[in-house]
Structure 1
Amino acid sequence: MQAANAQHKSEEAPLKISHLAGNCYVYTTTGQLSDGSRYPSNSMYVVTQKGVVMIDVPWDTTQLAPLLDHIKKQHGKAVIACIATHFHDDRTAGLDALAARGIKTYSTAHTLKLCKDNHNEQARYIIPEDTTFRLGDRQLQVFYPGPGHAPDNIVVWVPEDKVLYGGCFVKSTDATNLGNLSDADPKAWTPSMLRVKAKFPNPAFTVPGHGEMSNKDKACDHTLELIQTYNAGKNK
């Protein structure tokens, strides 16, 4: 991937924006874990003829305004929508600020309920668990595979660019474990992942919620390996 412009190339930059493929761009910010440590988080935006659609939010909410400014300057288009892929705050913090700017925010009903239950920010509009946004020259296909990292995690497929946004449902190829399992269902995760692989079998790139991007299906396959290792250890 190539950085969208020079100011985002530094590894220390609070906001890193990289062109992934076609009209898809990944943005990475760093959020704070419960133990106080800092951890990078990936999200994505897609440039369409109708406007720009964000998939998830910057975990570091101070970078939301710089992100919106960059998108407007770089692409000459405004952000028109944001899709939250599950209820955790690395995917929902900032939804209120987006709505206040007149940007439509979307989630499934399952995510909305979990946001309410956990006092996280909530999307204003509900979408079916399986639906397609058609925005001129681009489609965004939302798919709920079943529980995995979280009970409500969805993935998004951009068919024109063959990009699969897995979010936290998918682990990066440099991940050594499944990470935060506080709301995970490791037993259901394998069949859920197999549904994603069957539904979108030939991605050019896969975007995990954290860590390095992956070409083809390597991140999904690596996630399956991590799940199997975890479940084998639990069954001993």
Structure 2
Amino acid sequence: MKIKTLNTLLLLFISFFISNCNSQKNVSFQPKVVYKSKNLIITQISKNAFEHTSFLQTESFGNVPCNGLIVRKNKETIVFDTPTNDLSSEELIKWINQELHSKINAIIPTHFHDDCLGGLKAFHNHKIPSYSYTKTIELAKMNNYEIPKNGFNDSIILKVGNENISAKYFGEGHTKDNIIGYFPSENIMFGGCLIKELGASKGYLGDANISTWSNTVEKVK
């Protein structure tokens, strides 16, 4: 199985060596920006998947774009990673409700940094269930961040419409808790900050495990 990187911040299409109608559809789909404001950009990357991009001001890297994923099926959605703050998260929630006319079944932060759960309180204010790897909950508590409500060990499968999505922990890398999300019906994988495009900077390494990172990525492949 070969992984093709869509952009520098870790949205992945999976294409199989054998013929696969879903993967062929994804490869031919031309991404298009469907919403843009000062704080938030939403790009449709397949029929039922959207990339959301918000921004995080950092001392070391400047104003960094941070990506998450929205998957949709039958008027339901699941979001991987919040925007970087509550204001941008409110904007995203409003767009999903008003433009996709869809319920948000869950928010899944892929690790404990601000680019994944910085806007989690906004989702909780809207009574949207949050799910994360148990280590993410532990690290969020240690760093006084908003805490995901539901934890899982190893992996979880949730419903969006009549489809399954999954999230799974493969090992340490960018952080001790980084997980991978997968939307099988359109062969879309979300790698969070664990999976990097060739040549891309590794970014912030303060919580990384450099010695295991490449081995963890190999497990994903």
Give TM-score, length-normalised by structure 1: 0.76
Shift of 1:51: 1.8
Letter in 2 for 1:162: N
Give the match for residue 195 of structure 1. 219
Task: Give, as a single letter, the amino acid of the residue that structure 1 aligns with 2:148.
Answer: A
Q: Please give the alpha-carbon distance, in whole angstroms, between the structure 2 residues aligned to 1:58 and 1:72.
A: 16
How far has the Cα of 1:88 moved from its partner?
Answer: 0.8
- RMSD, matched Cα: 1.7
Q: Does 1:128 align with 2:153?
A: yes
Post-superposition offset of 1:173: 4.4
Partner of 2:34: 4
1:63-120 CA-to-partner distances (Å, cap 9, x unmatched) read: 1122111111221112221001111111111212211211101111111001111111
Q: What residue in structure 2 maps to residue 69 of structure 1? A: 94
Gaps of 5+ in 1: 198-236
Does 1:42 pair with 2:71?
no
AA at the equivalent of 1:26: E
8 Å Cα contact 1:129/1:154 also seen in 2: no
> Conserved in 1, the CA contact under 8 Å of 2:86 and 2:120?
no
Offset from partner CA, 1:10-51 (integer Å, 9 cap, x none): xx7421101112311001011111348211000111112362
Query: Residue 164 of structure 1 aligns to which amino acid in structure 2?
Result: M
Structure 2 length normalisation: TM-score?
A: 0.81
Alignment correspondent of 2:169: 144
Deviation at 1:191, TM superposition (A): 1.1
Q: Would the aligned equivalents of 1:155 and 1:166 in 2 still touch at CA under 8 Å? A: yes
Q: 1:92 & 1:171 partners in 2: Cα distance? A: 20
After TM superposition, give the deviation of residue 60 of structure 1 in Å.
3.8
The 1-side partners of 2:87 and 2:187 are apart by: 31
Structure in which a larger fraction of residues adopt strand: 2
Mind listing any 5+ residue stretches in structure 2 that lack a counterpart? 1-30
Matches within 5 A, 1:194-233: 194-197=218-221
Out of 109, 127, 149, the residue aligned to residue 102 of structure 1 is 127
- Give the corresponding residue for 2:47: 22
